A and B are shown apart, each in its own frame.
Chain A
Amino acid sequence: MKVKTLACLCALAAIPAFGTEAVTSGNTFGVLKVTCSATNVIIATPWVKCGDATSAVSVTDLVMTDNLAEGDEIIIYTNSAFKRWVLNSSKQWVGTPVTDATGTAAGGDPATSAIARGLAFRFIKSGGYTSDSYDLYLYGQNTEATATSQIARGGSAASPVYSLVASPKTTAANLNDGVTFNFDPNAADEIRVPRDNLPDVVYTYKTGEGGGWGTSVKTKVGSVYKKMWTVGCTIPAGTGFWYVSKGASGTGTITW
């Protein structure tokens, strides 16, 4: 075989160029910007652990810190315990026990921060929200797997049961289309989206033709105001809500 050496080839430059053979990463990563307009917001978990699609992401890896302020907080609620992290001056999340009204430490071990898709967490803006919106950046590995949210059912109108829920979707979630409840919501159940200095946005459920999750708004009819219920419940990407159960029992599931 004739062997070409460098010595006789050095005048000919190879020209790297794109060919037809392509390979693409099997995994997709994402960044979701969530624009917030409240001091205390409910945030979703849209991603899974980087490099491991079968594991939940750590909430302290999920939220970009560069644009946040010292004292900003993350609170998650899992396994019947609150866990809290507070951002320090070095932009690091530091596990900080939740304290009760007497200052007594309570809640779970903040060292464990995995949070599955379908769960929500609360972000609390240090110093309170003023008038300008602010952005949270959530980043991690994308997954096409379905996710579920568990709903604690029970309670009563006088003593409801609250579940913190968020859509893992990276687009707005219409709770009346493409989202599956494995239970029939109680007529008194509510979906509540908190707002600063304003009443919560409240969605209630109606059965039958034209039913679903919707809101009641006061509408002026003639000279009087009437409360009109309108179907529709869309949760913006990256955000969540309280599911307020006022009846039934057991655990319900929302499949996103």
Chain B
Amino acid sequence: MKKIMFALGVIGLSVAAVAAVNDTLLMFSTLSSDPDTYDTYMDGEKVLDGECYALCYVTDADAFKIKADGTADGGGEVLLTAPVAKDGHCPNLLYVVDAAKAETLKGGAYAVYLLDTRVKDAAGNTVVAGVENGKAKVVNRFGKVVEGEKAVAEDSEKKATDTIAQLPAAPANGSQVQDLSVIDNPTITAIKVDGANIKLTVADLSPAADYKVLTGTDVANPNLFTEVPATIDGSTFTVSKDAGKFFKVKGMRREFKK
């Protein structure tokens, strides 16, 4: 069982049941804080909207290849092919690997690959080939997404064949796959009284959780703390100055349908 959704963007995409607590929740993207950067194909062209990113589980990075039909050819497996490229990037995606499947994934690591699936349509325009039955229809090349780096073109050494796709399309600012299965305790790092409001700065937040501010008058009885209306903007939580005496931040793991 698995599920993918756009993280933080509210747009969700899912199948069947609710993700269990012991499922593995992964997040990845190639978003960049620099608006002038974008992922590229090997020829330097900006990736087309709708291009595919593949979430893979790789047990042998040297042997791992994605074939032209979108499947893996040893060294691991393709878990997800998502035609989600937008404005040259893979948006934030959450993906749930259910516990039973995760148990079968041993000795490797999750990795994200950018696929080059460009084809010519009937009119001679360059378009992405799209997906069919969960696999890319055509894969010309693929490139591993590496955090903070451009993928390196090493296809000449890979001896690409007509059945083995080549490296790479080049993500501009790739990210590693982030495992969100464990939600850390949030940490309040600063407090500031600003006019009628109290602004809490909170670290160790997870996109897989929803947060709220709790307040109470007896710090020795945190169970008596109650939720107080809060405005949350990134890591800044704002509540009324008169909301209470003591403040804590509580995170609740989201339930993701899969």
Contact = CB atoms under 8 A, between A and B. Distances in A.
A4 B134 contact: yes
A97 to B, nearest CB: 27
Contacts of A127: none
19 contacts: A1-B77, A4-B80, A13-B12, A16-B255, A18-B210, A19-B255, A21-B253, A22-B250, A22-B251, A23-B209, A24-B214, A28-B246, A28-B247, A28-B248, A50-B188, A137-B193, A140-B191, A170-B245, A170-B246
Interface string B129-146: 011001100000000000
Q: Is the interface of B mostly helix, strand, loop or mixed?
A: strand
Contacts of A144: 219
A27 B252 CA distance: 17
B4 A9 contact: yes
Interface string A100-134: 00000000000000000000000000000000000
A22 B252 contact: yes
A31 B244 CA distance: 8
Q: Size class of A's contact patch?
A: 35 or more
A182 interface: no
Contact of B184 (A1, A4, A23, A31): A23
B81 interface: yes
Contacts of B245: 30-32, 170
Interface string B181-198: 001111111111111001
Contacts of A25: 185-188, 202, 248-250
A31 B241 contact: yes
A51 to B, nearest CB: 4
B63 to A, nearest CB: 19
Going nearest first, the 4 A-B pairs with the smallest beta carbon separation are A14-B12, A3-B134, A21-B253, A64-B193
B212 to A, nearest CB: 9
B200 interface: yes
B21 interface: yes
Contacts of A23: 183-186, 209, 250-251, 253
